Structure 1
Amino acid sequence: MESRRGYTMRARSDAKAATRQRILRSVLELSEEKMTIEITLDEVAARAGTSVQTVLRHFGSRDGLLDEAVAAASAEVVEERRAPAGDPAAAVRVVVAHYERRGDFVLRMLSQEHDPRIAAVVGPGKLLHRAWVEEMFGPLLARPADREALVDLLVVATDVYAWKLLRRDRGLDAATVEARMLALVDAILGRS
């Protein structure tokens, strides 16, 4: 009888984890479609195929749900932007692919920066981008005297707004955007 109980407890635990993941995925999907402030628990529950009460049981509150969603999205972003350090072409390729997947969402978040909850997400995101630039291009920054200036320029050249200007405003295809951003990076690094 003990083994049957263990199996039941394991199945229950797995189902609970799957429900939690469905809820998190639902709030992330909704945040790609609309402003975060507009997302309701009813919408999240409906998309996840569960009830508002279940959402609250898992996360405690709407704020708790959003906090967990931010943590999950941040972990995904770090994975999406992995590239070998010191390889500008690979770095630009992964950041453009990341923006192709999440750029419009990031821009929507930046437009809500006045909301303290969103500012708490966007601020660390900006720091994450700068740290990514330092990691990706650090091996190529041999001139310590102007390192900070070079990092600043590389942050700008690989920023979501650079992608937006080329992809959304100019209407260029992703491959052309990648080539132009890489040309900026190479010029900054003195490789052109």
Structure 2
Amino acid sequence: MESGTRRSYRMSARSAAMEVTRTRVIEAAAALWMRQWFDDVTLQHIADEAGVSVQTIVNHFGGKEGLADAVAEWVASQTAVARQAPTGDVAAIVTVLFADYERHGAANVLWTAQMDRVPVAGRAAAHARAQHRAWLEQVFADRLPAPGPDREHALNLHHAATDIYLWKLWRHDLGLSRADAERAMCDLLTSIDPRKRNNA
């Protein structure tokens, strides 16, 4: 008869193996969806990329929508880790943000472009906006007014000044170098500092 310790070990090993498979599928799906439209990527494509069966994906996520939600959560967690920046240091904040945008900006733009017709993309975009706004409240905590209309106005300005589409405009549409684009964003953020405008 199998001992409790041995049974517990086997269950832990199985759970660890399942988590490894789950992560591999999520990373494979993320890689594909960063390059292609949501509708163009099938579960078979993802299974081939991850080296698993379609049934394995279904067992873990229930289907394409469930997998897409898991990918969105995984990307959000990766973003939170990547965007660690000191409060109030505009140059450092912009550098951290650009590092994230340079890695995943094009994929984010692609994903956002589908949000009106792909429900999971809409959910992911809404979560990303909320996450970005919370990040702005954290890294610009030193300059934001107290809760109220003035704070919301300031947050709206900072959101616009750091939006992914502004990065796209500067880096892709206008062809600015990263250094010039970062300088432009720093100048913009400096110009909308509520403390300077209130003292003007």
Q: Same fold (TM over 0.5)?
A: yes
Deviation at 1:176, TM superposition (A): 1.9
Normalized against structure 2, the TM-score is what?
0.87
- Structure (1/2) with the larger helix percentage: 1
2:159 to 155, 158, 175: 155
Partner SS state of residue 14, structure 2: helix
CA distance in 1, matches of 2:6, 2:124: 44
1:92 to 82, 91, 94: 94
CA distance in 2, matches of 1:145, 1:69: 35
Matches within 5 A, 1:1-192: 2=3, 5-115=7-117, 116-142=119-145, 146-189=150-193, 190=196
Per the alignment, do residues 11 and 127 of structure 1 end up closer, same or farther by CA in structure 2, a change over 3 Å counting? Answer: closer
Deviation at 1:81, TM superposition (A): 1.5
Q: Tell me the amino acid that sits aligned with residue 141 of structure 1.
A: L
Normalized against structure 1, the TM-score is what?
0.90
CA distance in 2, matches of 1:86, 1:64: 38
Shift >6 Å, 4+ stretches: none
Deviation at 1:51, TM superposition (A): 0.5
| Structure 2: gaps of 5 or more residues | none
Deviation at 1:130, TM superposition (A): 1.8
Superposition RMSD on alpha carbons, in Å? 2.0
Q: Tell me the amino acid that sits aligned with residue 171 of structure 1.
A: G
Partner SS state of residue 80, structure 2: helix
